[in-house]
Structure 1
Amino acid sequence: MNRMPLRGILILVVFILSFILIFPLGEKINLGLDLKGGMHLIYRVDTANLSSQERKGASERAVEIIRNRIDELGVKEPIIQPQGQDKILIQLPGVVDRERALEIIGKTALLEFKLVEWEPELIEKNKESLDSEHEWAELEERKILLRKKAVLTGKDLKDAQIGFDSLGLSYVLVRFNSQGSKTFAELTQNNVGHRLAIILDGKVKSAPVIKEPILNGEAQITGDFTPTEAKDLALVLRSGALPCPLVLEEERTVGPLLGSDSIRRGINA
């Protein structure tokens, strides 16, 4: 009997058994960047404005927050890892919505609530010389004077979700944690008739008048959002603010290295 065919059969059996052990029948094989293509990104963590203490672990915190955001996007088997002291490598297999991915990853998402100054003499005084307790901001191409100290920030949030008003327009509903709810209740009780600016990444999104005390620990962020924009803003607020800005230093769209026929043969072998 020819021993060569027998050896070939044994090798084939071993190969099939090994394949089944690695990829059990019925289990979907996840395709990485090599097979599916996708986005390859390298960000630099910009710690220039952080104190020496704040710089410690900034990259690790950024990686954790980015991972939370990408997990909520539903990307399978992403690679998110620090490179050196101030770089982060991100690979997103199969991602095709480039603009949305970059917006969600790169948004600092620093949320602040600040009172709008209402005392006329302070407003006039700061027109001449800005003091250390105030800052000027813009809302709808009009300057407003803000009290510099934020009364609430994104750290006081418990949750954020998309909502729709009676006209079907999108907004973001934020819910404060227990301490944040208490602070917000006291703030609104003591400032009825005054305006509260809601600021995201240094830009005033709205500055509504406090009409009555708000005791349920909820607030709305409006700003002519599309449903997708409101959903994505809620996502990044839930994941928390990045410790510092990210600078995109490299972006590549990677095509599959193997043709679709090769992939199909590899999976169905």
Structure 2
Amino acid sequence: MDDAYQDIGRLYLALLSPERERGDRLGDDAMNRWMLDVPPGASILDACCGVGNDVLALHRGIPAVGNAGPWNAFGSDFSESLLRVARTRTAACGLPADRFRRSSFADLAGIADWHRRFDVVLAAHAIYTAPDGIDEGSYDDYLRASLHGMKAVLRTGGHLLTNIRDWAAAEARGFPPTIVENRHGGEIFRCRYHWQPGRTPGSLHAATLAFECRDSGERALSTLRFVGRSADEMAGMFREAGFRIVGREATGADGDPFITFMLQSVS
């Protein structure tokens, strides 16, 4: 699999509000609320941690939401370039570098010292992403392997919090361009999603992300691929993988809708 964020560098800040960059809150509103019920000191893995902002929020106890926790936070991601940023920026807050591992979702099953270690695993804004070589015909097998990997690091009875795009809503809206803009350190960072939708909501979709810093003139492009599955289709996959659905909630902004699940490992 290729690292879609290899050349993005600090332009990734375009996708993070100042609150999220500081580690004050998680990026999914339902997950913020659900984490309030997790006892302090529990072991939590962000399995698609990116530059570490949600790991930092977990380590700090999500201050903007209600100062739950703090929790014993870990992170994994397929992108080594993002992990380098994550290790550096969280070190100042007391998180050692070995809290982070490079891993796909599926390969988590091979990390022996993480086996059945975590009370909660988070996989926000990533499970519907299709790596190179995965298309609509092979996505379900990829998802099965990914769920197996995340389940392997969860203790029995632990919870997986994950979300998907609402693809039917995206199609109904015609996949309009999405623009995200955030200010950090006096600079304005912007990312524009330009969609190349598939023929149906369940098809392979692509989005070209154009990153820029308006002040420095830095620019970068990244193309992400996605496979659409409905919430009911995903629910069936979760049950097949040995999870019980505890919660399901519409989340995201009006123009960028998501569906978030709380799943419990039951076998």
TM class by shorter chain equals: under 0.3
* TM-score normalized with structure 2 length: 0.23
**Structure having the higher Rg:** 1
Q: Relative contact order: is structure 1 or structure 2 higher (C-alpha 8 Å, sep ≥ 6)?
A: 1
